[in-house]
Copies of this chain bind each other. A is one copy, B any other.
Amino acid sequence: MQVVPLGGLGEIGKNMTAVRGGSGIILVDAGMAFPDEEMPGIDLVLPDFTYLREHADELRGIALTHGHEDHVGALPYVLREFQVPVYATRLTLGLVRSKLQEFGIKNADLREVRAGQRTEIGDFGLEFIGVNHSIPDAVAIAIRTGAGLIVFSGDYKVDLTPIEGNPMDLARLAALGEEGVLAYFGDSTNSERPGYVPSERIVGDTFNQIFEEAEGRIIVASFASHIHRIQQVVEAAKKHDRLVGVTGRSMIRNVQIARDLGYLDLPDAMLVDQREINRVPDGDIAILTTGSQGEPMAALSRIANGTHRTIEAGPGDVVVIAAHPIPGNERGVSRTINNLMKRGAEVRYSPLEAVHVSGHAAQEEQKLVLSLLKPRFFVPVHGEFRHLVHHADTAKSLGIPEESIFILENGGRLEFNQGRARRIDNVAAGMFLVDAGAVADTPEAVMRERQQLSEEGMFIVVARINAQTGAPLGPPDVISRGFVSAQGANGLVEESIEVVNRTLQRTASQHITDWSELKNAVRRDLSGFLSQRTRKRPLILPLIVEG
C-alpha cells in the first residue's frame, strides 16, 4: 500500500492525497490554491494530475473531508478527466453540487455519507469521523487497507462547545487508537501555536456585545462557508431585534444552501432581500457580507470604496471583520479597514477584538489527537515546511520516535509493507495553473514572460528588410510598452532606433539574410544599450518585414 500526497505539503492549499492499494486508488480531497504574486493573471492553482493520469484505470473514488476550496476546489477539473464516485457529507456535497453546476458538470456520481458511517470502496473500508472546523459537517477519514489502518484528520479543531452538531468524536479516535493505527496524517496549519484554540462560542459573546451597543447598521464580513459564525450573527440579530440582509455572491449562495440543507436556522421572516436592505432602518438590520480577506471585487471592498450597488456605510455604522487575514492578504484587509474608517464607520477586527477564532487545532489539541490515535507512523500534512516541522516536534515531545515521523513533500511516496514504512521515489507533483478558465500548458515560461513584461517592460522593433540583400528599407520603428517614461525616455526611443539602424547596416554589410540571425543581432545590441542606459532588461521583440 502506498500513500502519495499530491498537494498540501510545503504549502497551505490544494490538498490532495492518493491512497493506492491492491484494488485501486482512493483520492482524499481535491483542493485548489490561490495564485501568489509570482503568478500574474492566473485564476487558480491545481495539484499536478500527472500521477492520476498515469493510473487513471485504478482510480476508484474520491473522499472529501469538508467543503473548503483548498479541499474541494479542484474537483470539477478532476471529474472532467476521471468519472469516479465522490463520497462526502451532506453540506460538503451541497457545496460541491453548486460548484459542479457552475462548471456545467452533470451526472457526477455523488454519494452522501455522514459522520460515524462506514462504507466500502473495493478492498478499502472507509470510515468518516466527525471533527470540528470552521465549516459544518467536517470529517476525518479512516481507511482500512490490507496493510493497516490509516487516518486523515482533514482540517480540524477540538471544540467541546460547538455551535451546532457534536464535538469532535474523540471517543471514536480513541477506539481507532485501541484497534491500532498504522499511520496518521494530521493537520499542521496551527502547529506553531501553543495551547488550545478557543471555542467558536466566544465569537458569539463578542457579537452580542457589539449588537448591544450599536445604533446604526451592523455589517459582518466572514467566510461565506463559515455557517456557524453566520448562525451566531443570526442569533445576535434575533436577540437584538434586527433583520438580516445578505450580500456577496458566495454569501448569498452558501446561506441558501445551508438553509436548504438544515445547517442554518434563519427564518424567512428575518431575511431581507438584498434589494430591500435600504428600506430597513439602520438600527433594525444586520448585513452579512463577503470580503473578509480584502478581496478587491468582494462586497465589503465595494462597500468600503463606495462602489457597492446598494449598500453604503458611514458614521454610526459598525463593520465587523470576523476573520483573520490569510498570509498575503494583510494589505488588502488593511486597505478595506482604512477605507471603511475614512467613511466614518466603526470597524471591529481581530486581534483587537475577539471576533475570530481559528478553525485549526493548536499544539495541545494536536497532542490530544496524537495521544488518542497512538499511530505507529506520523505524517504531518496541510502546512508549509515550517508547520510540518513544528507538528513533528510536537509528536516527538509525546515520545513518537523521530524515525516514525515522515516529513514529506508533494509527490513524496510512502510505502507501507508488513507494518513498516519507507519512502520510495517521488512522483510528478508540481502544479497546474488555470488561466482564462483553462489549465495552462507551459505555465513557467509564460509566468516568467509576464514577470519580465511587468517589471522590465518591452521594446518592439519593426524593421523592413530587403530579403535578397538583407539591406534595411528605411529606418526601423521602435515602440516601447510598460517602460518608464522618465525624463529622457523619448530620447531613449530615438537612440534605440539609431542602435538598431547601426546593427542593420552592419548585418547588411555582412550580407546576413538569415532572419533569426538578424533578430538575434538586434536583440543583443539593443538589450546591451538599454541595460547599460536604464539598468532594465526589457523583453525585446524584433519583427522583420520583408520589403
| CB atoms of B479 and A543 under 8 A apart | yes
Q: Mark A425-448, 1 if CB is under 8 A from B, else 0.
A: 000000000011111111001100
With A453-B454, A464-B545 already in contact, the answer to whether A484 and B330 are too (CB < 8 A) is no
| CB atoms of A385 and B341 under 8 A apart | yes
| CB atoms of A435 and B486 under 8 A apart | yes
With A327-B331, A386-B341 already in contact, the answer to whether A486 and B41 are too (CB < 8 A) is no
Q: Mark A328-339, 1 if CB is under 8 A from B, else 0.
A: 101100100110
Set of chain B residues within 8 Å of A545, measured between Cβ atoms:
462, 464, 545
Set of chain B residues within 8 Å of A338, measured between Cβ atoms:
10, 384-386
- Residue A482 CB within 8 A of the other chain: yes
- Residue A52 CB within 8 A of the other chain: no
Who on chain B is nearest to A40 by CB?
A: B454
| CB atoms of A436 and B534 under 8 A apart | yes
With A330-B328, A543-B462 already in contact, the answer to whether A192 and B352 are too (CB < 8 A) is yes
With A384-B334, A541-B481 already in contact, the answer to whether A436 and B486 are too (CB < 8 A) is yes
Set of chain B residues within 8 Å of A445, measured between Cβ atoms:
485
| CB atoms of A481 and B449 under 8 A apart | yes
Q: Mark A458-492, 1 if CB is under 8 A from B, else 0.
A: 10101010000000000001010111111111000
**A437, A481, A483, A536: residue with the most chain B Cβ atoms closer than 10 Å:** A481
Number of copies: 2
- Residue A504 CB within 8 A of the other chain: no
Who on chain B is nearest to A434 by CB?
A: B486
| CB atoms of A453 and B441 under 8 A apart | no
Residues of A participating in the B interface, judged by any CB pair closer than 8 Å: 10, 36-37, 40-41, 192, 327-328, 330-331, 334, 337-338, 341-342, 347, 352, 384-386, 389, 435-442, 445-446, 449-451, 453-458, 460, 462, 464, 477, 479, 481-489, 534-536, 539, 541, 543, 545, 547
| CB atoms of A446 and B543 under 8 A apart | no
| CB atoms of B450 and A486 under 8 A apart | no
> A41: which of B330, B389, B456, B462 is its contact (CB, 8 Å)?
B456
In whole angstroms, how far apart are the Cα atoms of A439 and B489 in the complex?
11
| CB atoms of B446 and A453 under 8 A apart | no
Set of chain B residues within 8 Å of A484, measured between Cβ atoms:
41, 435-436, 438, 440-441, 446
